[in-house]
Structure 1
């Protein structure tokens, strides 16, 4: 995780871009990975840990209607989270993560399903990754790594 986080910071720094995160199931792991690196404050603007639906609505502007219609673990909510992080920060790149780390899940939203959003001024892309029932720790670590990969790709392509 550390090497990837260093690459994210270097890429964003090279383009004079700032980063924000909006995390649910990872509980701040992406923010921690970035801020574990000395000097990250010139790139990392802020992180939102929005574990509850209320927090998603209050801090990021996720619409209650979206949460009711599709649930928190959805690309629609990941999109609103990422865009909300951009609007509520001084960042030019924002990543969002919302998923089911486990244990548990359902037939319709199984354990290991994680939805991501990556937003810039050019727009927002979303995707869903099915990590599977790897166990809570591994799902969260994989989600964190994937979010860092999305940040790296966004920072490199700007």
Structure 2
């Protein structure tokens, strides 16, 4: 998570908060993992529920977001597997599936400060700073971001279909 961005207390607090994946992502079949040699090395998913940031209400049913909006959630990569393109693969898959299955015209996420440059490279724009209250009394700064995904694109080649009138 980036020791230069967060204190040990903040990292411990957020780790305790996120150590269990949101059961809605699992139940919806919208949570994806990458395994290597039987170990989980990257993961992430999407939802159309209104739950946008990490919260203590993860186990409660959530209302739907405004139409055509999806939220990318629970994106993690094992530190030993960072900088190998795994998070990008998870993001591309989640974005494509949320667009194609969830009919998302807008995608939102909450980025850690250390993840902010990565998400900006993927085309996400900053909406506003936010913070997450932690059970250890700390506060975890983060940033809410969003983007409008390209329609009918082949992500691997970044080629979009154009309709001719």
TM-score by length of 2: 0.32
Higher relative contact order (CA 8 A, sep 6+): 1
Bigger share in strand: 2
Compare the two structures and name the one with the higher helix fraction.
1
TM normalised by structure 1 equals: 0.33
